[in-house]
Structure 1
Amino acid sequence: MFLGIDIGTGSSKAVLADDVGRVLDSATVTHDVDYPRPGWAEFDAEGGAWAEVVRLCRELLSRNDAGAVAGMCVSAMGPSLVVTDGNLAPLRPAILYGIDARAVVEIRELTEEFGAEAIFRDAGKVLSSQAVGPKIRWLRNREPEVFARARNWHSLNSFILAKLTGELVLDHHTASQCDPLYDLRANRWHPERYDAVAGHLPKPRLVWPAEVGGRIHRQAAEATGLPEGLPVCAGTVDAWAEAFSAGVRQPGDLMLMYGSTMFFVQVLGEFRAEPKLWTTAGVDPGSLTLAAGMSTSGSLTTWLQRLFGDVPFEQLVTEAAAVQPGSDGLLLLPYFAGERTPVFDPDARGLITGLSLRHTRGHLFRAAYEGIGFGIRQILEYLENAGEPIRRVAAVGGGTKARLWTEIVSNITGREQLVPEQTIGASYGDALLAAIGTGAVPAGTDWARTVATVKPDPATAPLYEKLYATYELLYPSNREHMHVLAALQEPAVE
């Protein structure tokens, strides 16, 4: 058996799978992320992430033979920043990925220090809140006593690896989101920039996500119930582990992840970069990916459900399905929490236009699905304009269970979507990484099996083409007004 564990934004999940990808058992623990100040997002690495890994291992091994586990791998939300003392005790809560935007000043500082063009050339992306480097500099500037006590730094998945094995290892993909410390073209740490940002903190050893990073030591075996000496693969950021689980591994493959936010990962055939997208190392050795993300998707439909008095979700989907395509002239811009790709504007705001007295909650719910669909189309066009055609789209995530949503997206984008059999997500990809990394299966093994194909309805194309033209005008036409209104709301994340 192979154990995969993922520490996500809303829960941690574990799965046991055999060497042909059959799921033998699984377990889940839910949790919350902390938002201690506007623009901050944190998580307890010890009492949260590590404690949940121990709990999940104990639960699964209470029902399964620990001796049959041949390897494991852990992914996590990221890239995140965990700093520890010499005993691997975290010195503060983990600073999370792009949703934590505290290092605004440090982003500007490092961009000026190393040059925007040089960073973009070597990192494949513009320095942003997604990068770890500015957060290390923030710690050095704002919490110097913590930085001085720190002996190592980790992302969440590599922190768990260290707790299990004692090894200081980071996977190449996560490292490629630690701008400006990593040279993406050379797949190595950038020596001058690393020293200028991380100072006395040692460089983690770089490995690819499926490579064995270490073996479980005695203390970890006693805590988890796993066998001492069990090989542990490096793992990676959860979205990339999920893409791997869906078979997104060849140039032109794209993962479309339907979750609280919408996330895109496309495999590249060669190095390409576009300022409004993120170029990163991939999961397979030497591979590259292009990524993008929207700030709201499932979170928007959840908000509408609450707004309507917690009407059962299935009922809202039924009402939306009864509405004609185009929502009878209702159009929604889904920037309710600002937006990442393609505008990168934290002060952007949601917009519903075309409202009339004849519109119902079914119209609004369908308009939300369609608005997200238009945003997806816009990003897919950016991805293709970066230079490589998208040949295959794998749809993953909880949102794929709402067939109406995937149908609307296919109709708006004109693209076919493949839905895999297993929707467990990143933890399933972790189990496959463990099977590959331990040599139990060949490196090219793919467990993804398509169970549904969502095809576009050409009859809807003319209407959606007309609405899309209007959708593209909504943000530029209203940007200044949005910023005025955003200033009257809670302090915006920059």
Structure 2
Amino acid sequence: MSLFLGVDIGTSSSKGVLVDGDGRVLRSATREHAVSRPYPGHVEMDGEIWWAEFVSLAEELTAGRRIVAVGVSGMGPCVLLTDAAGTPLRPAILYGVDTRATAQIETLTRRLGGAEAILARCGSVLSSQAVGPKLAWLAEHEPETFGAARRLFMPASWLAYKLTGAYALDFHSASQCTPLFDTHTLQWYSEWAGPIAPALELPPLAWPGDPAGTTREPIAGIPAGTPVITGTIDAWTEAVSVDAQRPGDLMLMYGTTMFLIATVERPFAEVVTSPAMWGTVGAYPGTRNLAGGMATSGALTAWLRELTGADYPQLLAEAEASGPGARGLLMLPYFAGERTPLMDPDARGIVAGLTLSHTRGDLYRAALEATALGVRHNVEALRAAGAPIRRVVAVGGGTRGGLWTRIVSDVTGLPQVVPAVTIGAAYGAAYLAARTAAPVSIADWNPVAETVEPDPANRAGYDELYGLYRDLYPATRTIAHTLAARQRPRA
């Protein structure tokens, strides 16, 4: 039997799956972890944790089994800097949830000729999601560390490097290294990359499913000589896992953050852009995406769980009982700033309408509805930019239980198909690994299990709530920004 290992390094946990050649999940395991938040807006993680958890997962999953190929995936875009020998110099700076580089975003935008010039070259404007401003922050605030840095890794490329010794990055991840990458030529753009990262040896590029190399020695039950794919960022691996990389597809990833990936249908040479969204190279050759990401979703529900001391089944049952509209509550889910389409790291969470009669179930319902309202805002921005949305595929831990997906369909008016396997990026990584051994189809591996249809009875109420949601942010923005300034560490 051909067996494939897939491992994904996520924000709140690492997941691994052992899959056979027909796509059946034989074993799975999880290792929970926490990010570090040393200052408001700073979100980091020790890269050595990624490797330690990979080894732990592999040892558990491969015990007594022979692995044909290994798939890797991880959150991103992240900034893990190492010296020339591959030794990490500091904890990795995470993706758009880390908002430290706001000043560098403004400075680089001016220096490089303005947002329109960056958008035209790179497919995205500079935002908290971009790698370039975080490198500029390190150069300014940690010059000794930055001066010693020679290599740039993300979780997937770090695992591939540890396994094979190959220093490489995939084209998709590179396309999120704005403004270092030219989305037209699919090459590093030395004119901008050179001044921003003069000492870094930027990695050679490959497609996510391409082999990075083979294991140099037996590791955690994986034989020497086992192929390891290059891998990519988790949201794109999740889109692969649910067959949502065809033109007109929109993937909704219900994870620590809510992520949206729309696959555009224009010729590859024609880059579709929006200043409110991220234009990226796709996971497969010849594909392009418009993507969006909220700064919270599962992170917000986890915060409420910890705050209230209730478990998820209790909270879901109480949120179900609360009913549409959460008994008059409205929440802005910007508890970690907001990514798309606001691009506002200083946005803050708001709960409007609170009374002494509201319960934790009402608050939890309002949080689920807030993320659904944010999805609707992103969908409108995607459509305005020219992304067709004909099929919506839901994936991730938030699909379990059904309430959250029903709320999103009711708020957006969009049906969602839910595949049989929603374990996510680890499964997609295993699939990409399997493709190195034989032709396989993800549609055969992971067929649709159910379709969530919007309830017309809830549409009018949610339309009204959406209008209030869109009004609440501009009405409170000045106050939120003032409070955000007070939360920053003092120099």
Confirm or deny a common fold (TM above 0.5): yes
1: CA distance between counterparts of 2:401 and 2:342?
Answer: 27
CA offsets 1:130-175 (integer angstroms, 9 cap, x no match): 1112223333333333333333222221122111111111100000
Which residue does 1:7 correspond to in 2?
9
**Superposed displacement of residue 357, structure 1:** 5.4
Which residue does 2:90 correspond to in 1?
92
Which residue does 2:141 correspond to in 1?
142
**Superposed displacement of residue 23, structure 1:** 0.8
Which residue does 1:425 correspond to in 2?
424
Q: Secondary structure at the match of 2:160?
A: helix
CA offsets 1:311-364 (integer angstroms, 9 cap, x no match): 343233223223342334332222233222222223323333334555444333
Cα distance, 1:324–1:282 mapped onto 2, change above 3 Å:
same
Are residue 54 (structure 1) and residue 50 (structure 2) matched? no
**Superposed displacement of residue 247, structure 1:** 1.0
Which residue does 1:123 correspond to in 2?
122
Query: Mean Cα displacement is larger for which, 409-418 or 133-142?
Result: 133-142
Which residue does 1:106 correspond to in 2?
104
Which residue does 2:180 correspond to in 1?
181
2: CA distance between counterparts of 1:318 and 1:443?
Answer: 37
Cα RMSD of the aligned pairs, angstroms, is: 2.1
Cα distance, 1:382–1:51 mapped onto 2, change above 3 Å:
same
**Superposed displacement of residue 463, structure 1:** 2.0
Are residue 441 (structure 1) and residue 430 (structure 2) matched? no
Aligned pairs for 1:152-301 within 5 A: 152-218=151-217, 221=218, 223-270=219-266, 271-301=271-301
Mind listing any 5+ residue stretches in structure 1 that lack a counterpart?
Answer: none
TM-score, with structure 2 as normaliser:
0.92
2: CA distance between counterparts of 1:384 and 1:480?
Answer: 28
Which residue does 1:346 correspond to in 2?
345
Aligned pairs for 1:290-369 within 5 A: 290-307=290-307, 309-356=308-355, 358-369=357-368
Q: 2:74–2:232: 8 Å Cα contact kept in structure 1? A: yes
Q: 1:486–1:492: 8 Å Cα contact kept in structure 2? A: no
Q: 1:259–1:399: 8 Å Cα contact kept in structure 2? A: yes
Q: 1:346–1:492: 8 Å Cα contact kept in structure 2? A: no
2: CA distance between counterparts of 1:91 and 1:361?
Answer: 43
CA offsets 1:84-112 (integer angstroms, 9 cap, x no match): 22322212222221222333333233222
CA offsets 1:244-283 (integer angstroms, 9 cap, x no match): 1111110111111112321111111232111110011110
Query: Mean Cα displacement is larger for which, 427-436 or 145-154?
Result: 145-154
- Give the AA of the match of 1:491: R
Which residue does 2:470 correspond to in 1?
472
Query: Mean Cα displacement is larger for which, 383-392 or 345-354?
Result: 345-354
Cα distance, 1:444–1:352 mapped onto 2, change above 3 Å:
closer
CA offsets 1:158-206 (integer angstroms, 9 cap, x no match): 1221111111111000000111111112211112222222223223111
- Give the AA of the match of 1:54: V
1: CA distance between counterparts of 2:323 and 2:41?
Answer: 39
1: CA distance between counterparts of 2:334 and 2:179?
Answer: 28
**Superposed displacement of residue 487, structure 1:** 4.2
**Superposed displacement of residue 457, structure 1:** 1.0
Cα distance, 1:150–1:391 mapped onto 2, change above 3 Å:
same
**Superposed displacement of residue 446, structure 1:** 5.5
**Superposed displacement of residue 8, structure 1:** 0.9
**Superposed displacement of residue 402, structure 1:** 2.9
2: CA distance between counterparts of 1:10 and 1:74?
Answer: 17
1: CA distance between counterparts of 2:62 and 2:148?
Answer: 37
Q: 1:173–1:282: 8 Å Cα contact kept in structure 2? A: yes
2: CA distance between counterparts of 1:333 and 1:106?
Answer: 26
1: CA distance between counterparts of 2:472 and 2:201?
Answer: 48
Q: Secondary structure at the match of 2:54?
A: helix
Which residue does 2:457 correspond to in 1?
459
Q: Secondary structure at the match of 2:361?
A: helix
Q: 2:272–2:279: 8 Å Cα contact kept in structure 1? A: yes
- Give the AA of the match of 2:175: S
2: CA distance between counterparts of 1:380 and 1:352?
Answer: 23
Query: Mean Cα displacement is larger for which, 447-456 or 190-199?
Result: 190-199
2: CA distance between counterparts of 1:79 and 1:491?
Answer: 23
Query: Mean Cα displacement is larger for which, 169-178 or 28-37?
Result: 28-37
Corresponding residue pairs, total: 483
2: CA distance between counterparts of 1:92 and 1:357?
Answer: 46
Aligned pairs for 1:18-97 within 5 A: 18-46=20-48, 48-62=49-63, 64-66=64-66, 69-97=67-95
- Give the AA of the match of 1:280: T
Which residue does 1:373 correspond to in 2?
372
CA offsets 1:384-404 (integer angstroms, 9 cap, x no match): 111122111111111111312
Cα distance, 1:224–1:275 mapped onto 2, change above 3 Å:
same
**Superposed displacement of residue 442, structure 1:** 4.5
Identity across matched positions, percent: 51
Cα distance, 1:145–1:361 mapped onto 2, change above 3 Å:
closer
1: CA distance between counterparts of 2:26 and 2:126?
Answer: 42
Q: 2:168–2:212: 8 Å Cα contact kept in structure 1? A: yes
Q: 2:215–2:225: 8 Å Cα contact kept in structure 1? A: yes
2: CA distance between counterparts of 1:348 and 1:203?
Answer: 33
- Give the AA of the match of 2:19: A
Q: Secondary structure at the match of 1:3?
A: strand
Cα distance, 1:54–1:457 mapped onto 2, change above 3 Å:
same
Mind listing any 5+ residue stretches in structure 2 that lack a counterpart?
Answer: none
Q: 2:260–2:291: 8 Å Cα contact kept in structure 1? A: yes
Q: 2:243–2:443: 8 Å Cα contact kept in structure 1? A: no
CA offsets 1:273-294 (integer angstroms, 9 cap, x no match): 1111001111011211111111
Which residue does 2:488 correspond to in 1?
491
Q: Secondary structure at the match of 2:28?
A: strand
Query: Mean Cα displacement is larger for which, 314-323 or 258-267?
Result: 314-323
2: CA distance between counterparts of 1:310 and 1:432?
Answer: 37
Q: 2:172–2:232: 8 Å Cα contact kept in structure 1? A: yes
